[in-house]
Chains A and B, each alone.
Chain A
Amino acid sequence: ELKVEQNPLFLSMQEGKNYTIYCNYSTTSDRLYWYRQDPGKSLESLFVLLSNGAVKQEGRLMASLDTKARLSTLHITAAVHDLSATYFCAVDSTGTASKLTFGTGTRLQVTL
């Protein structure tokens, strides 16, 4: 059974600081997704990482994937208040169909 763990679960950081969210998963997978969720809202796709060593960047967020270590990171550079949200990683467990298994989420709070 695929398990996905994120840490930290909660992160409070000051504007302008850098930090990294970690996503570990338990079985082999060839793709990983990062989503953002604002309170009371739906999930917004941030990144799709398709292969070992993949790195994607959008604004102050950068995601990477190491399939050998079964680890993905979401790095936040010079945080701003607008980045406050909950971030989820999700791993695709392939078989007869794509099935996303989600981590428990990291609630990020960026303070002034």
Chain B
Amino acid sequence: NAGVTQTPKFRVLKTGQSMTLLCAQDMNHEYMYWYRQDPGMGLRLIHYSVGEGTTAKGEVPDGYNVSRLKKQNFLLGLESAAPSQTSVYFCASSYWDRSEAFFGQGTRLTVV
């Protein structure tokens, strides 16, 4: 069982560059989420999706865009990276009944 898979695991960007983080889940979950984790701040929700073709803003959406063209994939885009976006990004997915969320292994992103 792959569960939730994030690509890439590490990335270094220069300020102003763009990139896309990919999240794939094989559990047929309806809900998918992107979080960022910063030291001393826990995890904060960036964007989420309740189903294919839908997206919504979370707590800290500025500077990010998302898309969910297929049920199993949730993409997080940074159009113009800033040093403040240096963080560890986690993707998660869950069933509609909110039983529990499963997390990917994380992507460590550094913007210089």
Contacts and interface: CB of A to CB of B under 8 A. Distances in A.
Q: Do A and B bind each other?
A: yes
Interface of A: 4, 9, 31, 33, 35, 41-43, 45, 48, 88, 90, 92, 94, 96-105
Contacts of B103: 35, 42-43
A87 to B, nearest CB: 11
A104 B35 CA distance: 13
A88 B43 contact: yes
B74 to A, nearest CB: 13
B94 A98 contact: yes
A100 B42 CA distance: 11
Contacts of A42: 90, 103-106
Nearest to A47: B100
Interface string B96-109: 00111111111000
Contacts, number: 57
A105 B99 CA distance: 21
Nearest to B59: A101
Interface in B29-49: 31, 33, 35, 40-45, 48
B56 interface: yes
Contacts of A100: 33, 43, 45, 92, 101
Contacts of B42: 4, 88, 102-105
B58 interface: yes
Contact of A45 (B41, B58, B102, B104): B102
A45 B44 CA distance: 17
B103 to A, nearest CB: 4
Contact of B98 (A31, A45, A96): A31
29 contacts: A9-B40, A31-B98, A33-B100, A33-B101, A35-B103, A41-B105, A41-B106, A42-B90, A42-B104, A42-B106, A43-B43, A43-B90, A90-B43, A96-B50, A97-B56, A98-B94, A99-B45, A100-B43, A100-B45, A100-B92, A100-B101, A101-B59, A102-B35, A102-B43, A102-B44, A103-B42, A104-B41, A104-B42, A105-B42
